[in-house]
Amino acid sequence: MLTLGGCKPKSLYLHIPFCTTRCSYCSFYSEPETNWKGFREAYVSRLEQEIAVVVQETGGFETIFIGGGNPGSLTCEQLSRLLLAARSTQCREVTIEMNPDTFSEAFFPLFEQKLVTRLSMGIQSMDEEVLRQLGRNATLEDNLQAIALAKKAREQYGIDLSFDVMAALPGQTMQMALQDIETVVSLSEAGHISLYCLTVEEGTELARNVSKREVQVWDDDGQRELLQSLWARLGQLGYEHYEVSNFAREGNVCNHNLVYWDLNTYLGLGSSAASFLHSGNESWHYSQNQDLKDFAEGALFTGYDKEILSSEQLMEEYLMMALRTNRGIEKKHFSDRFLLDFDSLFSNTIAHLDPLWYNNTSHLFVLTEVGWMVLDEIVLRLCLQIPQPLDRH
Ligand code: SF4
């Protein structure tokens, strides 16, 4: 049972777990929408009721993100209802994800009525054959039309645009990956780009095809070389690399995602949504474990499992998230949050890291792009220095 326990999270995530079809690499929770037609309204209705209760308790949210799945599988009217329930005067950013194949002018009222300020679209590739290999429902033609429509929405309603692009895809060359970036940027003039390398997740169709050797994926060295080139190109195109996978032109960072990376509190509602909450001396996660049917038919706030974090787990999560951004770790903030001195804990470990991986000043520890290439290794080495149990005296 989800309860806020006095916490007033400033960010809200809403999960819409319907997709037209399943992409071969996808490990997110989503269901093919055609099988669940009858449940969409019940799903929206429960979500709407949960939102109304939490808004009363929190007083509203500063950022809202509707993701999926594909929020475009709902109607404009259903999305409006969710947003009308969630919005308040303090809201400064509302992002909605849309898949190119279902995006249309039918959703423009969301922008016109200022219910949405930011549109995020998964383009992934601008190559027909690669899109097919990924099992994307969108064709190249869908992607081109969706980019043109998104640009029209920005011109008419002043919304911000973000596009997801994938790299290190089967059948893709470095030249093709660079060309994808160039094409998406030049056609959309987007303020924000998210760039992800394809990862092979267990249990996916892609993983099965890779193990049968029907699909070949990039090796680690190839991926690193590719990322170096793509990151450099995005820099030349005027984007600040502000998080490992995210790039923004001035004034276009995603404030909602910064909440995750700063490990601030957020609430996630909907099947499979996750939350991070904090109150008094306790921090905890909620994960929503009901499938679509149980969620749609369940009582309000049921199905959320609570996991309380120890002080050590909290510090590990903080290191993992904060080092993803180019803000890095502000040492004063670290000592205020954990009542421990950053340098006393980690200076020995840092002294043994490659100096090309980081910048370390009296007030800041931040990773370089070279460091981001080995982010997991750096975080692991720092985490090994966290005393178990954490001794603050
Ligand atoms: S559209 Fe997104 S959530 Fe849906 S199957 Fe594809 S990758 Fe997964």
CATH number reported for the structural domain that contains residue 30 in this entry: 3.80.30.20
Q: What is the pLDDT of residues 240-271, one digit of tens each?
A: 999 999 999 999 999 999 999 999 999 999 99
pLDDT of amino acid 118: 98
Query: If you measure from the C-alpha of residue 66 to the centroid of ligand 1, how many angstroms do you get, rounded to a whole number?
Result: 14
**Total domain count for the chain?**
2
Cβ atoms < 10 Å from Cβ of 356: 9
Rounded Cα distance between 261 and 390, Å, is: 22
- Tens of pLDDT, residue by residue over 287-318, are 999 999 999 999 999 999 999 999 999 999 99
Residue nearest to atom 8 of ligand 1 (CA): 26
- Which atom of ligand 1 lies closest to the CA of 25? 7
| Mean of the per-residue pLDDT values of the chain | 95
pLDDT exceeds 80 at position 393: no
Q: What is the band of 183 on the pLDDT scale with cuts at 50, 70, 90?
A: very high
Tens digit of pLDDT for each residue in 323-379?
A: 999 999 999 999 999 999 999 999 999 999 999 999 999 999 999 999 999 999 999
Is there a single domain that holds both residue 42 and residue 123? yes
Q: Are 385 and 345 in contact (CB under 8 A)?
A: yes
Please give the distance, rounded to the nearest whole angstrom, from the Cα atom of residue 23 to the centre of ligand 1: 6
Same domain, 362 and 254: no
* pLDDT value at 34 more than 90: no
Is 174 part of any domain? yes
The structure tokens listed for 150 are 């998104």
- Shared domain check, 393 and 246: no
315 and 237 share one domain: no
69 Cα to the center of ligand 1, angstroms: 5
Note whether residue 291 is domain-resident: no
Question: Do residues 244 and 321 both lie within one domain?
Answer: no
Residues 217 and 168: beta-carbon distance below 8 Å: yes
**Tens of pLDDT, residues 51-103:** 999 999 999 999 999 999 999 999 999 999 999 999 998 999 999 999 999 99
- The percentage of the chain sitting over the pLDDT mark of 90, rounded to a whole number, equals 92
- Report the pLDDT value the prediction gives residue 390, as an integer from 0 to 100: 75
Q: Which two tokens stand for residue 299?
A: 């009582």
Q: Among 20, 21, 23, 25, which residue has the most ligand 1 atoms within 8 Å of its CB, making it the best to mutate?
A: 23
| Residue owning the nearest CA to atom 3 of ligand 1 | 69
Query: Same domain, yes or no, for 39 and 106?
Result: yes
If DSSP codes are grouped into helix, strand and coil, which group holds residue 16? strand
Domain edge (last residue) among 222, 244, 259: 259
Pick from 15, 28, 31 the residue to mutate for probing ligand 1's pocket: most ligand atoms within 8 Å of its CB. 28
Ligand 1: residue whose CA is nearest its atom 5: 22
> Is the residue at 355 inside a domain?
yes
In a domain, 292, yes or no: no
Mean pLDDT value across residues 139-150? 98
What average pLDDT score do residues 160-170 get? 97
Over 70: is that where the pLDDT of 391 sits?
no
Residue at 286 is within a domain = no
Strand spans (E) along the chain:
11-16, 18-19, 31-32, 63-68, 93-98, 118-124, 160-167, 192-197, 240-243, 246-248, 266-269, 274-279, 282-288, 304-309, 329-330, 358-360, 364-367
Query: Looking at the domain assignment, is residue 182 inside a domain?
Result: yes
Of the residues 259, 275, 301, the one at which a domain ends:
259
Domain that holds residue 370: 311-393
Are 253 and 193 in a shared domain? yes
> Does one domain contain both 53 and 170?
yes
Give the residue, out of 20, 22, 142, with the most ligand 1 atoms within 8 A of its beta carbon, to mutate for a pocket test. 22
Tell me, yes or no, whether 222 and 323 share the same domain. no
Does one domain contain both 149 and 246? yes
Pocket of ligand 1 (CB under 6 A): 19, 22-23, 26, 28, 30, 68-70, 99
Q: Which two tokens stand for residue 315?
A: 């510090």
What is the CATH number for 335? 1.10.10
pLDDT value, residue 247 = 98
Q: In the numeric block, which tokens belong to residue 372?
A: 């981001």
Q: Are residues 238 and 357 in the same domain?
A: no
| Average pLDDT estimate for 107-135 | 97
Ligand 1 center from residue 358 Cα (angstroms): 34
Side-chain half-sphere CA neighbours of 126 within 13 A: 21
Q: Is the pLDDT of residue 389 over 80?
A: no
Q: Is residue 252 part of a domain?
A: yes
Looking at residue 392, its pLDDT comes to: 59
Whether residue 204 is found in the same domain as residue 143: yes
Residue 52 domain-assigned? Answer: yes
3-state secondary structure of 100: helix
